[in-house]
Structure 1
């Protein structure tokens, strides 16, 4: 299926994704800070196990967010009017449809993580 998105609309979408990924980065940072507070408390072993599990998932989410942000920027460069040489080219970042699919997966995984985090936190307040 061929994309018929005009260049300006494409760039707006890519910029929107960059903002969304940055928002996720900021939320992950706040969630990690909250988990650190719990980790410093005298919580039970069961709670500390859950804190560690969530902390690991948050760390991975941050890594994925960083990768997504980088790839979105590279996709924007490859789809711009002026040709740009991209050195880091080991993922299919020039394909808008691929980036769109990756963003959908990114969102789903983040929503699941956030739901798990929010279910856990009220138990610890």
Structure 2
């Protein structure tokens, strides 16, 4: 299958947008967590706060790593201004990047669900 470079850039831009959305949502969750941390919550709640602080920090690190890798894919596409021939993969390592994005989204959704459950119990 032949894909225009514009289609490749569109896929890459979608990935970048997804990662940025996760970054923004994690920031909002961290802000909410900070409110709980500043309250007079019991020790067991503060333990959970620390747990989520660590998970949010790691989520941000992973987001930064994957965003960097996406940018590297964009450079690879830009370096190939002609049509790219492939079997429905926008970049050479598309399968790997697609798999990483799926795992990234899945783990983020789990984090978000866990945090929302925590918030509803503590609110």
TM-score (norm 1): 0.84
RMSD (CA atoms): 1.8
Q: Choose which of 104, 112, 115 in structure 2 pairs with 1:114.
A: 112
- Shift of the alpha carbon at 1:62? 0.4
Q: Does 1:123 align with 2:106?
A: no
- Shift of the alpha carbon at 1:7? 2.4
5+ residue gaps, structure 1, are 84-92
TM-score (norm 2): 0.85
The alignment partner of 2:40 has SS state of coil
CA displacement 1:5-50 (0-9 Å, x = unmatched): 4422221011001011001001001101111110010001111111
Query: Which structure would you say has the larger RCO, counting Cα contacts within 8 Å and 6 or more residues apart?
Result: 2
- Shift of the alpha carbon at 1:4? 5.1
- In 1, the alpha carbon distance for the partners of 2:39 and 2:92 equals 47
- In 1, the alpha carbon distance for the partners of 2:79 and 2:31 equals 41
- In 1, the alpha carbon distance for the partners of 2:80 and 2:5 equals 12
5+ residue gaps, structure 2, are 82-90
Maintained 8 Å contact 1:74/1:94: no
Count of aligned pairs between the two proteins: 114
Q: Does 1:33 align with 2:31?
A: yes
